[in-house]
């Protein structure tokens, strides 16, 4: 009975979100301002949500405790940062993590993938370490629109900082307890 109810709720959420709902915390980047390469000495990570599965639910991205943005289905965020070690977090119903050791002057790609949760979507990272073809990656890039944070996103992040820290405190120890082979890692050599 319980499983039937959860499945029914998921079907409704999927039907409502199949087309994808855009976050109110982000604004589209004009085509002439789309970022594809980092500034000199910096690293760039492009986070993509190429699928519309779980489109009614937003995923929020963090670099440790720094809000990167809210990622909707069929959107992408270009995040420029300092080279070196990073711990990225994606939050939905739960939180999941990805380690990265970024090199200067390189662009990296990581998909954010929705998966079924109990009440709403959970999200995981799928770092692109050369497992998919360049052609498929180009399709993902072409099929997503780049967005960036606006003032409502910054306000949302400030208002929700407490609950985000609670999710990190709950889920990071579970992630750290996994074997290294089951942790998501964006490899330094996968940068382009």
What pLDDT digit, counting tens, does each position of 112-168 carry?
988 765 555 678 888 998 777 788 888 888 899 999 999 998 999 999 999 999 999
Check: CB of residue 29 under 8 Å from CB of residue 147.
yes
- At 181 the three-state DSSP class reads helix
The share of the chain scoring above pLDDT 70, in percent, equals: 82
Check: CB of residue 52 under 8 Å from CB of residue 72.
no
Side-chain half-sphere exposure of 152, counting CA atoms within 13 A: 6
DSSP 7-26: HHHHHHHHHHHTT----TTE
Helix (H) or strand (E) holding 161: helix 161-176
Bridge partners (DSSP) of residue 87 are 99
Contacts (Cβ under 8 Å, ≥6 apart) of 79: 44, 45, 46, 47, 61, 63, 68, 69
Tell me the average pLDDT across 90-118: 89
> Does residue 65 have a pLDDT over 80?
yes
Q: Count of domains in the chain?
A: 1
Cα 186 to Cα 57, 95, 108, 118, 170, distances in angstroms: 24, 17, 8, 28, 23
Q: Which domain holds residue 60?
A: 2-190
Cα 150 to Cα 108, 153, 155, 161, 177, distances in angstroms: 23, 5, 9, 17, 36
> Does residue 30 have a pLDDT over 70?
yes
Check: CB of residue 113 under 8 Å from CB of residue 51.
yes
Q: pLDDT value at position 90?
A: 96
- At 112 the three-state DSSP class reads strand
């Amino acid at each position: 009975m319980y499983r039937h109810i959860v499945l029914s709720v998921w079907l409704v959420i999927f039907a409502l979100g199949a087309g994808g709902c855009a976050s109110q915390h982000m604004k589209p980047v004009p085509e002439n301002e789309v970022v594809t390469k980092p500034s000199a000495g910096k690293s760039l990570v492009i986070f993509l949500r190429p699928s519309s599965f779980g489109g009614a639910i937003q995923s929020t991205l963090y670099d440790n405790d720094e809000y990167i943005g809210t990622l909707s289905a069929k959107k992408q965020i270009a995040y420029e940062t300092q080279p070196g070690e990073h711990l990225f977090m994606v939050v939905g119903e739960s939180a999941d993590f990805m380690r990265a050791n970024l090199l200067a002057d390189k662009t990296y790609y990581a998909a954010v993938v929705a998966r079924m949760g109990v009440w709403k979507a959970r999200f995981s990272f799928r770092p692109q370490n050369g497992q998919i073809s360049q052609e498929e990656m180009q399709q993902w890039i072409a099929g997503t629109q780049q967005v960036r944070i606006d003032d409502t996103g910054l306000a949302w992040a400030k208002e929700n900082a407490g609950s985000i820290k609670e999710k990190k405190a709950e889920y990071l120890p579970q992630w750290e307890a996994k074997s290294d082979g089951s942790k998501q890692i964006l490899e330094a050599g996968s940068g382009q």
